[in-house]
Amino acid sequence: MKTEDIINKLTVKGLKVTPQRITILEAIIKLNNHPTAENIIEYIRKNHPNISVATVYKVLDTLVENELIRKVKTEKDIMRYDAVMESHHHIYCSDSDRIEDYIDDELNKMLEKYFSNKKIPDFRIEDIRLQIIGKYTNQ
C-alpha cells in the first residue's frame, strides 16, 4: 500500500494525518505477519528512533478504534495487529505463534448459511472470525 493510500484511509476516517500514524500503519502493512506492538516498535526504530513506545500504543489504539486495523489475540494472550480489514479467518500455529490469514469463500458461505438457519436468540451477528489453531507438520 502506498503512502497516499494510507493518508487517504486516515482522512476518510476523519483522523489527523501525522507522520507517526503513517509510519505505524505502514509498518503493520509491510511486516505483514500480524506483528506485536514490540515488533512494530523494533521495525520503526530503525528509521524513526524518536517515536516513543507510548506513542506507538496510542496510535495502535486509535487505529483499532477507527477500524483501520484489528487486534488478534494469540492463545498465549499476546496481542497482534492485522491491517487486513476484509472478512477473513486466521490459522494460528501454537508452536511458533505464527498467524496467517485464511480466506475460504466456501467456508464463509457455509457459516452464513448455518447462522441464517440457526439464529441465536436476541443476537445480531455482525461478523464471524475463526481462529484455526494447530501445528504445522512440516517444520
**67 domain residue, yes or no:** yes
pLDDT higher than threshold 80 for residue 139: no
DSSP assignment string, 53-71: HHHHHHHHHHHHHTTSSEE
**139 domain residue, yes or no:** no
121 and 67 inside one domain: no
Structural domain count of the chain: 2
Note the pLDDT tens digit of each residue in 50-74.
Answer: 999 999 999 999 999 999 999 998 8
39 and 102 inside one domain: no
Could you tell me whether strands 99-102 and 89-93 are parallel, antiparallel, or unpaired per DSSP bridges?
antiparallel
SS (H, E, C) 90-123: EEEECCCCCEEEECCHHHHHHHHHHHHHCCCCCC
Q: What is the DSSP letter of 22?
A: H
CATH number at residue 100: 3.30.1490
Global pTM value: 0.85
19 and 76 inside one domain: yes
